[in-house]
Amino acid sequence: MGNLVSLPIIGRAGYAFDNAMLNLLLPMHVQLDQEGRIIHVGPTFAKLLAFEPVVAGKHLFDYIHFSYPPNILTNHSLVAHFGMPLTAQIKAQGGFDLKAVAVAGNAGILVNFAFGTSLKEAVSHWHLNSKDFSAADPTVEMLYVIEVQSVLLEASRSLNDRLNGQREEAEEKAYTDPLTGLPNRRALNRYVKRLHCQRVPTDFAVFLIDLDHFKLVNDTLGHAAGDQVLQKVAEILLNETRPTDIVARTGGDEFVLVLEDAEDISPLEAIAKRIIRKIEHPVLWEGQNCYVGASIGIVCAHTKDNRSIDFHLQSADEALYNSKNNGRGTFRFVG
């Protein structure tokens, strides 16, 4: 190591710091002569240059590149930056940013280096331990914090992922009718709100569907039969709609469809007829046929009207009432 000349540095108060003292106080320092040639290297800094055969008298700039401020390329410019915060890298070991500060010593220049944000990587790269740092240096404490923080950050990330999964699951449950798997009333509200938030305004139709004679099935064949009917109806309604539409179960035997881009009446009529025909088809339950029918009230609306789903359902309910009064098993439009 370049420990050939031992020049005491005399501080202003007259204290002499010899190299042994400086090694203890500043284990990552380098002493240069007036021309910038290396006179002495602190023990930890010597470790960083271990792959380089450091010879006293060589120039610091052969090993170190100052990246900030720019253009510190000569001893002269280093002198001009005395006392300022510098950033440097070891040329042979790119990637590790060192912090540095240079001061004038009576014998020449003293540059002290430190690991900044590269501390954790540097410690593992050079197998450093607490003895490589000054006893009065908070590096060890910093390492505890860094290590623990990375463990906790990882743990917190995985915890958040799991909580998020559970939240989505709970939300899914809160928006779903457990019997049919269809969206419920709450989901319907959310769907219609989103529909109104769309950038492009759209026509849409609301079908309010009420089953006919459902109570009879429930009363004569039991709730299990009724449940089977409801599941079958759900299946029929899903088959009659597009993925962008919504089919919701909003009450015991009440279903709501919202169909987007519904400009013309005739396709809506066709859908309503098909739904009624299919629902009238008996559902087999334990060897018995369950007969139900469907009455439908239909509202055509536009997102520009900015009405709530409750408003539309009220209108649809009037049309539904008309259907029921017209002998059931049919549909009516509002207005």
Partner 1 sequence: MHGMINRGLQSYICDVHGVDVWEETCEQAKLPFCDFEYMLTYDDSTTEDLLNSFGALTHRKRDEILEDFGTYMVSDNALNVMRRLLKFGGSSYVEFLHSLNFVYDRAKMAVPDLDIPTMELVENNPTQFVLYTRFRKRGFGPTLLGLLRALANDYNMLVSITHSRRILKHVDEDIFTINLLRKKGCANNTPELVRD
Is 141 a binding residue for partner 1 by CB under 8 A? The answer is yes
**Cβ closer to partner 1: 4 or 152?**
152
* Angle, CA 288 vertex, CA 287 and CA 289 arms, to 5°: 130
Q: Say what the alpha-carbon torsion angle 80, 86, 92, 95 is, to the nearest 10 degrees.
A: -150
Residues 30-89 close enough to bind partner 1 by CB under 8 A = none
- Please say whether the dihedral angle defined by the alpha carbons of residues 86, 47, 128 and 150, taken in this order, is positive or negative: positive
- Least Å distance, CB 159 to partner 1, is 6
| Candidates 132, 210, 245, 253; catalytic one | 253
Q: Which of 77, 130, 198, 244 binds partner 1 (CB under 8 A)?
A: 130
**Cβ closer to partner 1: 162 or 304?**
162
- Least Å distance, CB 144 to partner 1, is 4
Residue matched to tokens 């089953």: 211
Bond prior to 70 in cis (omega within 30° of 0): no
> What 3-state DSSP class applies to 40?
strand
Helix (H) or strand (E) holding 229: helix 223-239
Give the binding range for partner 1 (CB under 8 A) out of 22-30, 60-68, 107-115, 153-161: 153-161
Distance CA 311, CA 141 (A): 65
Residue 274 is which amino acid?
Answer: R
The answer to whether residue 97 is catalytic is: no
Answer whether 275's CB lies under 8 Å from 296's CB. yes
Distance CA 21, CA 31 (A): 13
**Cβ closer to partner 1: 141 or 310?**
141
Is 325 a binding residue for partner 1 by CB under 8 A? The answer is no
- Least Å distance, CB 43 to partner 1, is 9
Is 148 a binding residue for partner 1 by CB under 8 A? The answer is yes
Is 155 a binding residue for partner 1 by CB under 8 A? The answer is yes
Positions that interact with partner 1 (CB under 8 A): 123-124, 128-131, 140-141, 143-145, 147-152, 155-156, 159
Catalytic residues: 253
